[in-house]
């Protein structure tokens, strides 16, 4: 196990070094390419900033207004019937919009129930098994100027449901 911990400290620096060495061997001007990429990345950040601000404000309004708790109480009654704890509904809803806001809720769950509790385990696994659907769709589709999303939302919601089911099953296996 110590070997893997030691190895993991060197993976990222090794990959960066490998990319630079490969580029130099191919005759690419690494610094100029890096500067162009950083410039393009900065322009992308400026383009998506209004979307990011809008999503963060929306999540803040949902939390501060109590609407998220209201929806969670209603949905929690139904999710408890299928084995998903109602206490994790707010985390699930917020995670679809913002991973950082969901992390704040996750820490609240850890403080109240403990990280090693059933709820803590399900929450931890679900954070890894789900995606920030609306954030990802808005950023990628806006950047690529995609207007017809077809079945993207339905597929993303289905995969989130699968991730949530997997988190309940896996946490159940870990507790036993």
pLDDT digits (tens, 9 = 90+) for 47-83: 888 877 887 788 788 878 988 888 888 988 898 888 8
Q: Name the residue ranges covered by the structural domains of the chain.
A: 50-175
**Mind listing the pLDDT tens digit for each residue in 82-121?**
889 988 998 998 899 888 888 888 998 999 999 999 999 9
Q: Are 85 and 79 in contact (CB under 8 A)?
A: yes
């Amino acid at each position: 196990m110590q070997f893997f911990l030691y190895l993991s400290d060197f993976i990222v620096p090794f990959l960066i070094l490998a990319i630079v060495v490969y580029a130099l061997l191919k005759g690419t001007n690494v610094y100029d390419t890096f500067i162009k990429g950083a410039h393009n990345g900065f322009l992308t950040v400026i383009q998506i900033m209004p979307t990011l601000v809008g999503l963060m404000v929306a999540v803040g309004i949902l939390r501060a207004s109590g609407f998220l708790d209201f929806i969670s109480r209603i949905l929690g009654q139904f999710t408890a019937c299928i084995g998903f704890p109602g206490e994790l509904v707010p985390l699930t809803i917020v995670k679809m919009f913002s991973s950082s806001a969901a992390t704040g809720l996750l820490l609240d769950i850890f403080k109240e129930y403990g990280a090693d509790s059933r709820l803590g385990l399900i929450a931890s696994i679900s954070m890894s098994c789900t995606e920030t659907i609306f954030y990802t769709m808005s950023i990628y589709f806006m950047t690529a100027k995609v207007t017809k999303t077809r079945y993207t939302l339905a597929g993303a919601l289905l995969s989130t449901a699968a991730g949530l089911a997997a988190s309940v099953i896996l946490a159940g296996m870990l507790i036993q």
